[in-house]
Structure 1
Amino acid sequence: MRDLRRQALESGKTVSRKARSRNVSANVSAKSSKPNSRLNSPARSGATSQNPSRHGSDDEDYLSDETALSANSIDDLLNSDDVDAADDAWQSELQTYMEQIADRKGSSTEGRAASLASYAHVVMSRFTKDDIEPRISELLPSMVRSIKQETSEDESVAALKALAVTIITLDSDTIYDDVANLLKNVITHSEYVSLKTSAIHTLGTAAFFGGTSEEELEDLLTSFLEIIESDGQSANAHDEASVVTAALEQWGMLATALDDIQEATEAAIEAFVDQLDSSDTSVQIAAGENIALMFEKSYTPVEDGEQVSDDDDEYNHETSNGERMVKRYDVYRRPDQLMHKLETLANIADRSISKKDRKSLHTNFADIRNTVEKPTRGPRYSTAIDKETGKTYGGGRLKIEIPKVKLGRNIEIKLDRWWKLRRYGALRKVLAAGFQHHFDENEAVSRCLPFSMSSKFWKKGY
């Protein structure tokens, strides 16, 4: 079987499986009809949740629309925009940190946590594959030991962060098998909520970038869905909003790797709609973004030789760039009910919710509602009319401009589709502001998100 990750990353868009049967099995139907689940303990959820899933600080330097994204870091370590290391110092510092990680003899818990955090800091800020690859046989066992032993929360969380950024840097087809069982065990059995949350994100990263089969990926979607449906109970973290949010975000990230998610949609849609009633903003937004992704992926391009009626508006849409899209299946059997929920969240005025959270709900659910109403409309789609052209502004307003050193000019990433937004959010969660360095040099990252050349030159005389 061709490596699933390569298929997903090399594909510029979702392609339908024309020949696939649309019959849904009885066991999937039964699963999708399970009773509603929600985070129904406001006091607990509020106390244990992460920050709202979209905030501006990490992304304002990159997004021309100044729109915040679901890009919180997986832990509080290294949660800084400044991840640069001095040009003449980072390689020698990295060698020192790797020595400290590999040689555990006589080291303290605090020392190992500091070394792992410093290592991750450098690997986030630079593309270090050539430096760490020769030593991975020493580094990986040490990271695994720090995660497995749980001598301290700080050390284990730092090791999870170091592991995640190492996986993205190495772009290995085999590392998933080396760490998957360990990460699954942490999710289920760790005594620390922060470790469960970090392990979910690291497991998703390993599955996407570390080599896995389609069957294993589908099993992970099922496992993450069980966490969501049970409000964290299946991970022994009942009503822990950060754990549920992590599962929602990684479900969405992994779903972007599949061409056809109809069966996954049938199983998950009820749980995601139910989580719109959560008392935690980050859970609501992550669930809403997955719903938008589902509706987006229910439409695929018209295939060669396919006959499509021009008269059926429900089944025949065009994207903002003129690509003709066709509806392949129904996502949710009660669309009117769903639209009512989305409309309520897009206009929520509950004063018991903080002003910041209300703003996040308004912004995100306006976009989610627009996609559910018309699935070819991606994030920040505008129906306003351009006076010069007489056409709607459409999509593509949400974009990142990054200096591409190898090309000698800026490149532009348009986050005009939900699958792109999901991938970008997951990458920023691991790489923080080091995203731009990795996008420039790390093919594993640049394969994730298609880009176009910007009209703005950044190198004089180019």
Structure 2
Amino acid sequence: MGRRKNQQKNAAALFDSDDDESLSTSSEAMSETSLAPEPEEAYGGNASLDSCLDALYEKRGTTREKALSLLIDGFRNKLQHQFVANKYVTLLHQFLNSMKKGSAKEISLASNAIGLLAITVGAEDNAAREIMDETMTSLLQVLKSGTDPSKISYILECLAIVTFIGSNSSEETEKAMQIIWQFVRPKLGPNVGPTKPSLAVMTAALSAWSFLLTTMDGWKINSKTWQESISYLSSILDKDDRSMRIAAGEAIAVIFEVGSLEKFCSEPKDSTDKVRNGAMHIQGLRAKILNQVRDLAVEAGGKGSAKKDLNSQKTLFREVLEFLEDGYYPDTTMKFAGDALVISSWSRLIQVNFLKRFLGGGFVKHMLENELLQDVFDFTPKRKSEGVSESSRLDKGIHYVYVPKVRKEGSCQRFYKSPNSALNKARTQILNKKRTMSQGKNTGHYAVSAGDEE
């Protein structure tokens, strides 16, 4: 006990300052096609990650904020498996405490830290499940307490990340999506969030919602939950804010890619011939969206508050138009220190963009070293693959899925690139298998960890 107090005093001395560091945002656009990792540094100077953890026990809010900032830098720019292995329970509890009693800035930092903790532990350990379960309740409490609207975006990002990694079922994912959707389209009744969220919050919420939608199988989506959602997204395309229009365009592209479009539409009012009327309604809605997308793909400017987004908007909606009209998927290649990642579906593009924004400068480092991201994107750096045995490749199973030869044109590309394709389903099954196996391995894990943390 005395040792813990001494550690906390030392931590307080390291972090005690009135300097107010600005909170870095995770909204940078993905424009680079060739990326290099950030140079490794001693993040936090003389303050070790252990000292940062000790500082989270301090009463002074600014001390905790500085500690969280340094932990975030450490998690982003280096894979902290060894540090997290026996301390993730303590880290999670301290992050959650910061969310409950901290300032708006501390809540935002804690939200970032929880998401990074989930990315660090990955999907192979029962820890990811633990993080999701405990975080969900705390995030809901913070959202209901009327927290600063400017920080809601960070909370929603955190919710999306922990669900993406920790969820084992479509029902759990949809539960998180429903919470997020309330910030996209507030209900008339009781809400988790404000009745009129800001445009920035709505845009962040829509991006987080689309990110989770990329993990869903169209057949398992609850049609009652998302009725009229695509009509609402269509209405956003007519709004003046370009960031909102871009986010809505991405969401629409993912909906069409996932399939089961009828589950996102309203039921026909005439019940005499639901099948026929439903098909006509979907056809009419699709035609309307096509016209909107065409207009946005060639917009000359003057409409929208942020002209800097005009080129991004045109590029996006040209690709959406090609997809809706001809079945062509996005085709982009990103390079990481010489290793190439091919992005050839809307779901993959949304996932890469979201994680790149969240990880910031640490995205390249995690892509090169984090097995979670490598499994998600089926990406194996050359220097790693050279040391992988044949048996470990068989364990992954992804490389041995039978793929018949078909022409990779138009709608035929769907077999290869859809999130519901054989390749992607196999990848999902493997991640779920790893989670299940790890639950058996980690029986009694928390009791052991508690002793190791002291």
- Bin for the TM-score computed over the shorter chain: 0.5 to 0.7
| Offset, 1:93 | 5.6
RMSD, aligned α-carbons: 3.4
Q: Higher mean Cα deviation, 190-199 or 162-171?
A: 190-199
List aligned pairs for 1:162-173, cutoff 5 A. Answer: 162-171=113-122, 172-173=128-129
SS in 1 for 2:372: helix
Per the TM alignment, residue 329 of structure 1 is displaced from its structure 2 partner at its CA by 12
| Equivalent residue in structure 2 for 1:442, among 346, 370, 385 | 370
Instruction: Give 1:279 shift.
Output: 2.5
Q: Which residue of 2 aligns with 1:417?
A: 345
Give the aligned length.
333
Instruction: Output one character per residue of 1:239-278: Cα deviation in whole Å (capped at 9) or x when no partner.
Output: 4112211221121111121222563765521221122123
Alignment of 1:144 with 2:125, yes or no, is: no
Query: Following the alignment from structure 1 to structure 2, what is the Cα–Cα distance between the partners of residues 415 and 421?
Result: 6
Secondary structure, aligned partner of 1:401: strand
Which amino acid counterpart does residue 213 of structure 1 have in structure 2?
S
| 1:340-387 CA distance string (max 9 Å, x none) | 11111111223254431221211111111221223x3122xxxxxxxx
Which protein is richer in strand relative to its size?
A: 1
Change (3 A) 1:85 1:453: closer
* In the alignment, structure 1 residue 217 sits paired with structure 2 residue 178: no
Q: AA paired with 2:208? A: Q
- 2:58 maps to 1:110: no
Counterparts of 2:280 and 2:375, CA distance in 1? 28
Correspondence for 2:107: 156
Structure 1: which amino acid aligns with 2:246? I
In structure 2, do the counterparts of structure 1 residues 110 and 54 end up closer, same or farther at CA, with 3 Å as the change threshold? Answer: closer
Identify the residue that residue 427 of structure 1 maps to in structure 2: 355
1:238 paired residue number = 196
Change (3 A) 1:332 1:157: farther
Pair 1:453–1:209, CA change in 2 (3 A): closer
Q: CA deviation at 1:200?
A: 0.6
Provide structure 1 residue ranges, at least 5 long, that are not aligned to the other structure.
1-49, 64-80, 301-327, 380-395, 404-409, 458-462
Secondary structure, counterpart of 1:174 in structure 2: helix
2:333 corresponding residue in structure 1:
399
* Structure 1 residue aligned with 2:432: none
Whether contact under 8 Å (1:113, 1:156) holds in the other structure is no
Matches within 5 A, 1:237-316: 238-260=196-218, 263=223, 266-298=227-259
Do structure 1's residue 194 and structure 2's residue 146 form an aligned pair? no
* Cα 1:344/1:53, change in 2 over 3 Å: farther
Change in CA separation of 1:104 and 1:123 when aligned onto 2, cut-off 3 Å: closer
What is the alpha-carbon distance in structure 2 between the residues aligned to residue 340 and residue 218 of structure 1?
30
Q: Distance in 2 between matches of 1:259 and 1:357?
A: 31
- What does 1:33-52 correspond to in 2, within 5 Å? none
The correspondence of residues 340-379 of structure 1 with structure 2, limited to 5 A, is: 340-351=291-302, 353=304, 354-374=306-326, 376-379=327-330
Describe the shift of the 1:139–1:204 C-alpha distance in structure 2 as closer, same or farther (beyond 3 A).
same
Under a length normalisation based on structure 2, what TM-score does the superposition of the two structures give? 0.66
Q: How far has the Cα of 1:203 moved from its partner? A: 0.4
Question: Amino acid of the residue matched to residue 283 of structure 1?
Answer: M
Instruction: State the one-letter code of the partner of 1:399.
Output: T
String of CA shifts for 1:169-214, please: whole Å, max 9, x gaps: 0122321011101112223333312321111110011111124432
List per-residue Cα deviations over 1:408-451 (Å, max 9, x = no partner): xx321112210001111221122112112112221111111134
- Separation in 1, partners of 2:78, 2:350: 23
Tell me the CA shift for residue 148 of structure 1: 1.1
Q: 2:29 aligns with which of 31, 55, 66?
A: 55
Structure 2 gaps, min length 5: 1-23, 123-127, 262-278, 386-454
269-278 vs 351-360, greater mean Cα deviation: 351-360
Q: Is structure 2 residue 40 aligned with structure 1 residue 85?
A: yes
Distance 1:117 1:453, change over 3 A: closer
Residue 330 to residue 114, structure 1, CA distance change in 2 (3 Å): farther
How many Å apart are 1:133 and its aligned residue?
2.2
Summarize the Cα distance change of 1:430–1:54 in structure 2 as closer, same or farther, 3 Å threshold.
closer
Q: TM-score, normalised by structure 1?
A: 0.65
Contact 1:252 1:293 in 2 (8 A): yes
Whichever residue aligns with residue 207 of structure 2, its letter is E
Q: Which is bigger in relative contact order (C-alpha 8 A, separation at least 6)?
A: 1
1:205–1:197 distance in 2 versus 1, CA, 3 Å: same
Does the CA-based 8 Å contact 2:368-2:381 persist in structure 1?
A: no
Which secondary structure does the structure 2 equivalent of 1:413 belong to? strand
- Hey, what's the Cα distance between the residues in 2 that align with 1:256 and 1:82? 27
1:100-141, Cα deviation, whole Å (9 max, x unpaired): 333445452112111101111111011111212212232111
Instruction: Decide whether the 8 Å contact of 1:147 with 1:156 is kept in 2.
Output: yes
- Report the secondary structure of 2:184's partner residue: helix
Q: Is the 8 A contact 2:58 2:64 kept in 1?
A: no
Please say if residues 428 and 435 of structure 1, whose CA atoms lie closer than 8 Å, have aligned partners that are also in contact: yes
The CA distance in 1 between the partners of 2:110 and 2:368, in whole Å, is 25
Alpha-carbon distance change, 109 to 356 in structure 1, aligned in 2, over 3 angstroms: same
User: 3-state SS of the aligned residue for 1:279?
Assistant: coil
State the AA in 2 paired with 1:134.
N
Q: 1:105 to 1:357 in 2, by over 3 A?
A: closer
Alpha-carbon distance in structure 1 between the residues aligned to 2:368 and 2:354: 17
Q: Verify the 8 A CA contact 2:76 2:360 in the aligned structure 1.
A: yes
Cα displacement string for residues 321-348 of structure 1 (whole angstroms, at most 9, x for unaligned residues) = xxxxxxx999664222111111111112
Inter-partner Cα distance in structure 2 for 1:169 and 1:100: 17
